[in-house]
Structure 1
Amino acid sequence: MKFRLLFPFLCLLFCLPATAQPDISHLRISLLTCSPGAELYSTFGHTAIRVTDSTRGIDMVYNYGTFDDRDPNFYAKFTKGIMVYALSNYSFSDFLREYQYEKRGVIEQNLALSGDEKLHLYAALQENAQEQNRFYNYYFHSDNCTTRARDVIAQKAGAAVVFKNILPQKTPTYRNLIHTYLDKNNQYWSKLGIDILLGSTFDKKVTNDEAMFLPDYLMKGFDSATANGHPLVAQTQTVLAMTAEPPAGALMTPLFIFSILLIITGLLSFSTNSWAQRCLNVFDCIFFLFLGICGILMVTLWTIRIDTVCRNNFNVIWALPTHFFIAFVVYLKRRWLQQYFRVVFALTLLFAVSWFFIPQQFNMAVLPILGIILLRSYFRGNLNKKDAAANNSTKVLHSSKSVNIEL
């Protein structure tokens, strides 16, 4: 009798787990990886998350890479390294339209997550998209739109995600990684500017996780990753098969331009023509003013940025901030100015011979710049000797004329 009374309750108990697990096969979450674009801001590609719910007609993209450049303090904050980015969600069709316009490819990796894991991840994305949660401080190499997408999937889905090693045999540095993209996109001048402003901290060898700040590396990471012992990616498909045409490779690269400038400067420096010397006075003023501005910018970014990418910058050895002030009096024949240029010559020469020993990778276009500095600082530091030699030549010439007259 008691068993017959308990039997219906036991049946109900065994049926509960089956009814507690909703069928969410209609919910799909995937990682979107966008190919690099032609402009500098899009050179490294992009990452976003796509959520599709067929029963509710939802097809949304969650994008951690949006910001408001209308902020009146945008550039001041940018200089300090305070970049406020936000998570935005909008329709997949709008997202795709942008990349069609820019002729950039989009690859989609469907995630092999369980029903509960999808629900947890979707809930986390919705919560992060709330106005009070959507903003974050952006750091190019450590906390960006790509790392945010990785972390929310790996940490909020509830799955034990394990990434396998995706690094090449020779471990790259942060600088090596971004050079690959800058070279492919023919961004030679941007590469020079980045190499000059970023310090030696950017020459740290990356770990497997750190390399995933780049979209392509995150895509490789997801391909090799497992979730609860199973492959994280169920299927990979190309949504948009397009490749942006990089800017044409120009002959006027920094290395070429500064090498030509070095040759011209050398020819003028060894000339005794008064016109050549006047040209050099103007050139030295402009050249050392440029170096001084670069040096001031390096020191400013080194000291005021809240991140570390511009610290310990050895480029400041050849781009001394004091050059900015010297540029306005460079033509004066003062002993202290000659001593200044002798110090500049010694520092630049020391930098050049230590090129391969300094723990920082330098742009090759810096070499002809060093050559120009050595040339001009040598001649400026030995100005009196040159004048004395010129005066002696004049005296000898006058003496010869006097002798001829007497004869």
Structure 2
Amino acid sequence: MSLTARILLLLALLLAALPSAQAGVANAPGANLEVSLITYGPGETYWERFGHDAIELRDSVGGEAINFNYGVFDFDERGFLFNFARGRMHYLMDAAPTEMDQRYYVESGRSVTRQSLALTAEQASALRDFLLWNLRPENVRYDYDYYADNCTTRVRDALNRALGGILQKQLEARSGGMTYRQQTARLMSAQPWLMLILDLGLGPYADQPLNAWQESFLPMVLEHELAHTQVSDGQGGMRPLAQDGQLISPNRLAVPPDQAPDLRLPLALAGLVFAALLVLAARFWPIGLALLGSAYLIAAGIVGVLLLVLWTLTTHHSAWANANLLLFNPLAFALLPTLWRTRRGMAASRWADKIIVLQLLALVVAVLLHLLPGVVQQNQPWLLFALPCWLALSWSLRRGLRKLYT
């Protein structure tokens, strides 16, 4: 754990140990606790693009306000990068005075919004006790998952626990607006290369229809859904759980688009351009065909290896069973010798012809998957890119093979 995290954790533990005679969040009666959701807008760094949030507990009598959040990680943790690659990241819960916690976000230009939540005294007290229990050293760590168990789902679950499950019940009854893939592309669109890499690596899990409970893995979605949640007013009626958000600090950064970019046309055009270059090189520039073809085959092989590793050796379930393996796979490496032998007029083994046919069959399967009912993964952009590239490369190689065999 980093020094800063240790200091903040120690501070929170000291708060929990304060004597009852001293006013504060840790010992205030539930009737004096004001509960709010603090939502921070997206930042500029890639791990900040999804935004962040925290639960604020404020003692209305003593004035103390503490932010509880689940978004602390430590680059210096032993094996952090290896665990990150395996999908076994360890995150920490943290607590800090509200003003201290918000200072970074205000200074970096990210929006800060407060939503007051209408919890009863008993619910506020139960939430406080749970958060302090969760802050203990033996409970503070958790295994992070991008979509199913992150800093926002932990906040959501803590609120749902205090509310007796009513939040989950209402949110599961509403349909979500986007899929995991669409939300990821939308929020990462400011960094196109990273957006494309993530989209390429996401499997069918990322395309499942979501309800509002699942889509509340995002802070901005949770903020929106809380504003449309109803709770009992104690008199037989219902009232809104959350008031309209109070803007504490405005956003000064570029705002993510409302919708995910459509990658089909850009990648289709890129595939057609690359295919045209391969065909022209096959006719007029043999060394150019070898260079361009090698670049594609090496890239396809590397992508295939990485997709296989993500599926078989990691817990990144959002990358499992990725149909892009039909388009990019390690078999591409086997065609590299054939590509260079045809350039130099050397005989190529006939099994290379079988590999080409096998890859073309894989393309047919990839196309058919989108015609069958029940297919989830939306990888049309990569299919539109890979299809002309493989057709052009296969034509160029088989054209060379025919010349050698005749």
Short-chain TM bin: 0.7 to 0.9
Distance 1:224 1:166 in 2: 13
- Please say if 1:113 is aligned against 2:133: no
Which structure 2 segments of 5+ residues have no match? Answer: 1-27, 233-237, 342-347
**Does the aligned pair in 1 maintain the 2:176–2:212 contact within 8 Å?**
no
**Residue in 1 that maps onto 2:332:** 323
1:232 aligned residue: 241
Aligned residue among 274, 280, 290 for 1:281: 290
Structure 1 Cα separation of the partners of residues 242 and 205 of structure 2: 34
Equivalent residue for 1:336, pick from 351, 356, 373: 351
1:62-93 Cα shifts (integer Å, max 9, x gaps): 11011112124222212221111110111222
Q: Which of 390, 401, 404 is the matching residue for 1:373? A: 390
1:168: how far off?
8.1
Structure 1 residue 203 and structure 2 residue 195: aligned? no
Contact 1:290 1:324 (8 Å CA) reproduced = no
1:205 Cα deviation from its structure 2 partner: 0.8
Number of the residue aligned with 2:221: 217
Give 2:149's match in structure 1, choosing from 135, 138, 143.
143
TM-score using structure 2 length: 0.79
Q: 1:340 to 1:161 in 2, by over 3 A?
A: closer
Change beyond 3 A, Cα 1:151–1:353? closer
Distance 1:320 1:23, change over 3 A: closer
CA distance in 2, matches of 1:164, 1:231: 12
Q: 1:37 to 1:256 in 2, by over 3 A?
A: farther
In the alignment, structure 1 residue 42 sits paired with structure 2 residue 48: yes
Give the match for residue 101 of structure 2. 95
- Please tell me the residue identity of whatever aligns with 1:42: E
Cα offset for 1:256? Answer: 5.8
User: Counterpart of 1:194 in structure 2: which amino acid?
Assistant: L
| 1:356 Cα deviation after fit | 5.1
Question: Quick check: 1:360 aligned with 2:380?
Answer: no
* 1:268 equivalenced with 2:281 (yes/no): yes
TM-score normalised over the length of structure 1? 0.79
Q: Is the 8 A contact 1:28 1:118 kept in 2?
A: yes
Q: Over alpha carbons, which structure has the higher Rg?
A: 1
Q: Is the 8 A contact 1:163 1:221 kept in 2?
A: no
Change (3 A) 1:92 1:256: farther
Instruction: Classify 1:341/1:159 alpha carbon distance in 2 versus 1 (closer, same or farther; 3 Å).
Output: closer
**Who is 1:383 aligned against?**
400
- 2-structure distance, mates of 1:110, 1:345: 58
Structure 1 match to 2:303: 294
Amino acid corresponding to residue 229 of structure 2 in structure 1: A
Change in Cα spacing, 1:244 to 1:255, as seen in structure 2 (3 Å) is farther
Distance 1:74 1:160, change over 3 A: same
Counting aligned pairs with the same residue, the percent is 24
The Cα RMSD (Å) is 2.9
> Distance between the aligned counterparts of 1:360 and 1:95, measured in 2?
39
* Larger mean Cα displacement after TM superposition, 128-137 or 201-210: 201-210
User: Which runs of 5 or more structure 1 residues have no equivalent in the other structure?
Assistant: 1-21, 390-407
Q: How many residues align?
A: 359
CA distance in 1, matches of 2:175, 2:68: 34
Q: Is residue 66–residue 88 contact of structure 1 (8 Å, CA) maintained in 2?
A: yes
Confirm or deny: 8 A CA contact 1:37 1:246 kept in the other structure.
no
Letter paired with 2:199: D
Q: Residue 333 of structure 2 aligns to a residue in which SS?
A: helix
Q: 1:34 to 1:97 in 2, by over 3 A?
A: same
SS of structure 2 residue aligned to 1:224: coil
Contact 1:161 1:225 (8 Å CA) reproduced: yes
CA distance in 2 between counterparts of 1:25 and 1:194 reads 46
* 1:152 maps onto 2:167 in alignment: no
With 93-102 and 139-148 compared, the bigger mean Cα shift is at 93-102
Aligned with residue 82 of structure 1, among 76, 88, 91: 88
